Structure 1
Amino acid sequence: MTALEVLAPGVLALVEDLGRPGYAHMGVGRSGAADPGALRLANRLVANPASHAGIEVLLGGLRLRALGPVTVALAGARGTALVDGRPVGRDAVLEVPDGGELVLGTATRGLRTYLAVRGGIDVPPVLGSRSTDRLAGVGPAPLAAGDVLPVGAPPTDLPAIDLAPVPTWPDEVVVPVRPGPHADWFVDGLATLTSRAGYRATPASDRVAVRLDGPVVARTPRAAGAELKPVGLVPGAVQIPPDGRPVVFGADHPVTGGYPVLAVVRSSALGAMAQLRPGEAVRFVLAG
């Protein structure tokens, strides 16, 4: 059996795929990769279906040993990576020999790296997905030293990889939003959210939500102190709690929430939100 042995997990390493849709009525959200575009790219590089599970690594520090030769790819955050002590590239196809060690250094740009292995991480699925949902407590436990992750059978018909859509890192993170269902609860709420002043991610951010610091979004006098019955939430919902500082929900968001939703981030920008490091700036714009 081909497998990957975890020698050190780093800050946090999770098995993730594209999630488990269809269980919100049971209180279980979709979850999945916080930056699904990066996981799709890593899977594409090793000729996997996009739905195959990989490893999501927060900041870096992951050390793996190959139990059998494996083909892997790294996408997402930027930073150093070594195979048996030799520097290797990201967004590229990498061969790790039997017994070889892959080490991820600390990310220098972005927050989350995705490792895909040809054949996928073949841990048992839960509700149709191999994703770890930190909020619902569903799926595999966070990786720990000594874990052995089985690798699935590689695809039999390997396509040629002639072009990989490798994203560039922008100088300024600009995120498009649509008006949310409760925009009328706020005094110029969308104008405040999309002002040039922008926001910064706080250290309290995680897979559940990116919590922001910046201009306070004020309620209208009519909505001041008003209560809202719990309503369904989606990834990218921009909720405004009583302190007026936006919270942008991510992959492990709750299925319902009780604070008004001012706006919703376009799905194409969820990956950019997931890669924000504490203290980094983000600016919102109304989607055309």
Structure 2
Amino acid sequence: MSIVVLAPGMLSSVQDHGRCGWRHLGVGRSGALDSLSFSIANRLVGNATDMAVIEITLTGPRLRFAESARIAICGARIDASLDGQSLPGWRRIDIPAASELHFGACRSGVRAYLAVAGGFLVNSVLDSQSTDLRAGFGGIEGRALKADDQLIIGDGFRPQCDQVNIDTRWIDPAPDLDFSNPSIIRVLPGSDALDDDDALFADKWTVGNASNRQGLRLQGTPLRIADPRERISEPVLPGTLQLPSDGQPILLLADAQTHGGYPRIGHVIRADWPRLAQLRPGDALRFVRCGARQAQQLLNEQRQRLARMAIAIAADA
């Protein structure tokens, strides 16, 4: 089965769970920024949770399906329609052959995920099918989708239908995916102290226009590091909060580099990474202090919610 890209949208790329275990060679993680939406979309169509999907940014693609398919759309609240019929998110949708799926704009959030039963078949590079846009490998030739691309779908459920069939049951992603403004982001202490311990948490921050899959550039009252001496390059990870010399923090995401020389003033807890993925330029956020024990508890609770969702989805299949 194949899907033809009629129009690519602003930035659509093939992503899976990410490229793990290669940071010692300078290879970043990549992968779906919103791992929660990515996993649920795959579960809804009967895929393994780590199968490749299309990550859609701000405005989506237009796709033609050669054969019938089961799909799910999760993540940002995005305008989606099939041959003129509006499609909701967070549920199974069966579509007939020769359908044209059209994505418009994200109304809240910034990244939506399209999963198709069987997953997208692209070559694996370093144990992942994810597109590393900065390094230019993985996915479809290491780049975003473009018009006339043909995406091959693996073996999976193929509905027998001559019209769209939308499941009335749906998944509620709250509280893990929070579109409120400002968004509350919980932070562990970093290895570098600020001259004012409360400065990071005192005011809200705004996501700048220069943000991308590598990181969110934040704007607010400039921060000052307690020890301004130049630092050697040290390891960084998705979630690391760096402080350049201008005092405006950079919050690293999945396409982040593996090392950096800026002071590391905090680290966003893993349970809040899906929220980071849905922050768009102009959105506001507030940082809240968090301890290691609380961070682990919140991650365990999130994983338990995902496990319960998986059981409910499987029972309804």
Q: TM-score under structure 2 normalisation? A: 0.84
Give the letter aligned to residue 171 of structure 2. A
State whether structure 2 residue 210 is matched by structure 1 residue 204.
Answer: yes
**How far apart, in 2, do the equivalents of 1:163 and 1:64 lie?**
23
Q: CA deviation at 1:165?
A: 4.4
Alignment partner, residue 34 of structure 1: 33
CA distance in 2, matches of 1:65, 1:135: 28
Structure 1 residue 21, shift from structure 2 partner: 0.3
Q: How far apart are 1:210 and its partner, in Å? A: 0.3
Structure 1 match to 2:195: 187
Q: CA deviation at 1:94?
A: 1.2
Q: Is the 8 A contact 1:238 1:261 kept in 2?
A: yes
The CA deviation at 1:96 is 2.0
Which whole-Å CA distance do the structure 2 matches of 1:144 and 1:29 have between them?
24
Any idea what SS the aligned residue of 2:109 has? Answer: strand
Task: Tell me by how many angstroms 1:5 deviates.
Answer: 1.0
Instruction: Report how many aligned residue pairs link the two structures.
Output: 277
Q: Of the candidates 216, 219, 235, which is equivalent to residue 238 of structure 2?
A: 235
Structure 2 residue identity aligned to 1:218: R
CA distance in 2, matches of 1:131, 1:242: 32
Alignment partners' CA distance in 2, 1:162 and 1:92: 6
User: What is the alpha-carbon distance in structure 2 between the residues aligned to residue 257 and residue 92 of structure 1?
Assistant: 40
Q: Of residues 249, 264, 271 in structure 2, which corresponds to 1:261?
A: 264
C-alpha deviation, 1:216, in angstroms? 1.1
The one-letter amino acid paired with 1:153 is D
Give 1:93-112 correspondences, 5 Å limit. 93-112=92-111
For structure 1, the 5+ residue unaligned runs are: none
**CA distances 1:108-154 after superposition (whole Å, capped 9, x unpaired):** 10101100001111111111111011222221221000001111111
Match of 1:150 in 2: 152
Q: Cα deviations across residues 199-255 of structure 1 (Å, max 9, x unaligned)? A: 0000000000000000211122xx22x211111111100000000111000010000
CA distance in 1, matches of 2:73, 2:273: 19
1:241-273 superposed Cα distances (whole Å, 9 cap, x missing partner): 000111000010000001110000011111111
Report the alpha carbon displacement of residue 61 of structure 1 after superposing the two structures with TM.
Answer: 3.1
Provide the secondary structure at the position in 2 that maps to 1:145: coil
**CA distance in structure 2 between the partners assigned to 1:247 and 1:162 by the alignment:** 39
Q: Deviations over 1:8-30 (max 9, x none)?
A: 11101000001010111211111
Q: Distance in 1 between matches of 2:145 and 2:170?
A: 32
The gaps in structure 2 that reach 5 residues or longer are 159-167, 292-317
Measured in 1, the distance between the counterparts of 2:45 and 2:157 equals 9
Instruction: Write the deviation string for residues 28-64 of structure 1: whole angstroms up to 9, x where unpaired.
Output: 1111011111111111111111100000011123100
Which residue number corresponds to residue 17 of structure 1? 16
Q: Distance in 2 between matches of 1:61 and 1:218?
A: 39
Range with bigger deviation, 79-88 or 243-252: 79-88
**Aligned with 1:274 (options 274, 277, 297):** 277
The Cα of 1:163 is off from its aligned counterpart by: 7.0
The Cα RMSD (Å) is 1.8
Aligned to 2:115: 116
Which one has the bigger helix percentage? 2
1:155 CA displacement: 6.5
Q: Distance in 2 between matches of 1:54 and 1:9?
A: 14
Provide the rounded CA distance (Å) in 2 between the counterparts of 1:45 and 1:60. 23
Q: Within 5 A, what are the aligned runs for 1:149-188?
A: 149-154=151-156, 164-167=171-174, 169-183=179-193, 186-188=194-196
Determine if contact 1:48/1:155 at 8 Å carries over to the other structure. no
Which residue in the other structure is 2:301 paired with?
none
Q: Is the 8 A contact 2:224 2:247 kept in 1?
A: yes
Shift, 1:172, TM fit: 3.1
Deviations 1:147-196, CA, capped at 9 Å, x for gaps: 0111111169xxxx97734235334300000001122xx202x411111x
Contact 1:135–1:253 (Cα < 8 Å) also in 2 = no
Q: Report if aligned partners of 1:82, 1:88 keep a CA contact under 8 Å in 2.
A: yes
Report the 3-state secondary structure (helix = DSSP H, G, I; strand = E; otherwise coil) of the residue aligned with 2:179: coil
> 2:253 pairs with 250, 254, 277, which one?
250
